[in-house]
Amino acid sequence: MFSINGKEFIWKALMSLIGISLISFGTALSQTMNMGLDPFTAINTGASELLGFTLGNYQLFVNAAILAIILFFYRMIVGWGTIFNLVLVGYMIEFFISMLESFIDPTQFAFIVQLLITVVAILIFTFGVALYMDADLGVSPYDAIAPVITDRVSASYKTVRMIQDIIVVITAWILGGPVGVSTFITGFMAGPLIDFFSNRFTSKLSDKVEAKA
């Protein structure tokens, strides 16, 4: 993961950062529509509000704790992209939410419009995850959980990811996090959608970057 030349690293770092930006923007757009957040952000939002932390600070702490565990079991999937995600995502979500809420009033939209925008937000989010993961500079601490489990049990990534997200959704709801339509759709569909985007688009883009480097 670290044994790549400078040109390839720059292109893959760009892929990783664009993926992180799409993840954050998709999450913020969904929240702006009052449709809930993806499971991991929802559980972090609920817990951070209960403990009196900002989302950015709390998510940074949780990601660091998960990373410490991942390093013990499967450090080969940890890299610069992991650090980018760990540091940036929580704060970028806060930034995009603040930006979107300054000029979007979801009450002006009919429910069906809010729902359609939320579906677009989920597609942006899952495409961002696929792009970020296929940059192959390391995955986020949360996204590393499913590959670690998949490597040790006879189950597909999308099945493990779905179970993981559903468990987190339930916990987020218990903690009073922003659980809504988006949370449940993401909980059931994130794995298959990430798999789809990876197979059709982002893994091919990564192959082209490697071929040109």
Residue whose pair of structure tokens reads 């893994």 in the numeric block: 203
Q: Give me the chain's average pLDDT, please.
A: 90
Point out the least confidently predicted range of 51-65, 86-100, 107-121, 146-160. Answer: 146-160
Q: Name every residue whose Cβ is closer than 8 Å to that of residue 14 and which is 6 or more positions away in sequence.
A: none
Gyration radius of the chain's alpha carbons: 17
Task: In whole angstroms, give the CA distance from residue 128 to residue 94.
Answer: 17
DSSP 8-state secondary structure symbol assigned to residue 33: T
Task: State residue 19's pLDDT score.
Answer: 96
Confidence of residue 213 (pLDDT cuts 50, 70, 90): low
pLDDT digits (tens, 9 = 90+) for 74-113: 778 788 999 999 999 999 999 999 999 999 998 899 999 9
Task: State residue 177's pLDDT score.
Answer: 93
Task: In whole angstroms, give the CA distance from residue 50 to residue 174.
Answer: 12
The residue type found at 91 is Y
Specify the length of the chain in residues.
Answer: 213
pLDDT digits (tens, 9 = 90+) for 9-38: 999 999 999 999 999 999 999 999 999 988
Produce one character per residue of 102-112: b if its CB has 16 or more CB atoms within 10 Å, e if not: eeeebeeeeee
Task: In whole angstroms, give the CA distance from residue 91 to residue 170.
Answer: 24
Task: In whole angstroms, give the CA distance from residue 121 to residue 25.
Answer: 8
Instruction: Please check whether residue 125 is in contact with residue 22, taking contact to mean a CB–CB distance below 8 angstroms.
Output: yes
